[in-house]
Amino acid sequence: NIETFTSHIGIAVDRFIAQRQSEFPHATGELSQLLRDIVIASKIISREINRAGLSGIEGMTEEENIQGEPQRMLDIIAEVRFKRALINGGQVCAILSEESDEIIDTGNHNAKYVVAIDPLDGSSNVDVNVSVGTIFSIYKRVSPQGKPYKKEDFLQKGDQQVAAGYILYGPSTMLVYTTGYGVNGFTYESSLGEYFLSHPNIIQPENGEYYSINERDQGEFSRDFKTYLYELKSRKMETRYVGSLVCDFHRNLLKGGVYMYPSTDKYKEGKLRLMYECHALAFLTEQAKGKATNGSARVMDIKPKDIHQRTPIIIGSKKLVDEYEEIRSLICF
Ligand code: P6P
């Protein structure tokens, strides 16, 4: 009956956002509205993904994105949906998207936030029905309100994020985000069209059994990575690599583990993008008591130089990342 069905369901995300806002007397409600705008777009994309095989939108376009990667129809659809939600929501003056070379001016020049987003990370997995994700970071603009955005609004350190999160379009669609006061996970109930709190105050296990890396490149890894991987394998850690970042990150966040994408011959600076992938995940993992480094520096301390720059990353359970750093300090100095 409805009692049992709803007994385990937590608060709806709208009410959670409002409750959190009420804890900050000076809050104006603009960030709350921005989060709601992201939630709206995610519900539309969740539906598009769930029926992609029926609507024929799994395929490719003839285009490539700035990364030189082929663009899929769903990449474009996801970007359009987030752009529209953020433009109409009025809280964002500019958007940095993985799918667009240039920063998108929303025209909301009085808005005080900017958003960096990977609208649909891992989208190549959709046509084989493997989970994919959206990753977003929210920053306060540094340029004066009332005028168009400046590039400096985006070249901010990870520490400057006011909020960050991801949506995981998996067996269930989940929203996981932080505003700097812990990490909370919400599960989407499509029959009600609402997200409900299902994973309150997520803490990443200090240790873990999983390591995630594409072993294809192991011949190219630096000595510290080779030594670290040898160590992990020698104690029979489980390798789990979906090849969809949000999946691999989410599993390691809940169960404990480490995700690595080091520098390779093909990706000298690592493959993952700092502004709209690594910053958000680093903020989340630190808020959940985990750790994120680029090998020599805390990801959240990196001073961005280019809006589409990449970075090597080792991210996850604190003890596992500490162990990598120990090995690196022994080998590299
Ligand atoms: P590789 C997907 O393209 C992505 O950006 C992440 O989602 C994923 O973790 C990574 O690249 C996979 O890269 O080189 O292992 O195929």
Residue 195 pLDDT > 90, yes or no? yes
Nearest CA to ligand 1 atom 10: 243
Q: Which atom of ligand 1 is nearest to the CA of 132?
A: 7
Looking at the predicted structure, is the pLDDT value of residue 5 above 90? Answer: no
How far apart (Å, rounded) are the C-alpha atoms in residues 281 and 313?
10
pLDDT for 290 equals 98
Query: pLDDT of 62-90, one tens digit each?
Result: 777 777 777 788 889 999 999 999 999 99
For ligand 1, say whether the CB of 214 is within 6 Å of any of its atoms. Answer: yes
The model's pLDDT over 202-256, given as tens digits with 9 standing for 90+, comes to 999 999 999 999 999 999 999 999 999 999 999 999 999 999 999 999 999 999 9
How many C-beta atoms lie closer than 10 Å to residue 28's C-beta? Answer: 11
Among 120, 213, 271, residue to substitute to test ligand 1 (most atoms within 8 Å of Cβ): 271
Asked whether 218 lines ligand 1 (CB < 6 A), one says no
Between these two residues, 325 and 52, which has the higher pLDDT value?
325
Alpha carbon nearest to ligand 1 atom 3, residue: 122
Length of the chain measured in residues:
333
For residues 19 and 11, is the Cβ–Cβ distance under 8 A?
yes
CA of 241 to the centre of ligand 1 (A): 10
Q: Is the pLDDT of residue 8 over 60?
A: no
| DSSP code at position 144 | P
Q: Is residue 299 pLDDT above 90, yes or no?
A: yes
Closest CA to 326 of 231, 237, 255: 231
With a 6 A CB cut-off, is 122 part of the ligand 1 pocket?
Answer: yes
Token pair of 66 as six digits: 């700035």
Q: What is the pLDDT of residue 124?
A: 86
pTM exceeds cut of 0.90: yes
Residue 97 Cβ inside 6 Å of ligand 1? The answer reads no
CA–centroid distance for 50 within its chain: 20
CA distance 76 to 255: 32
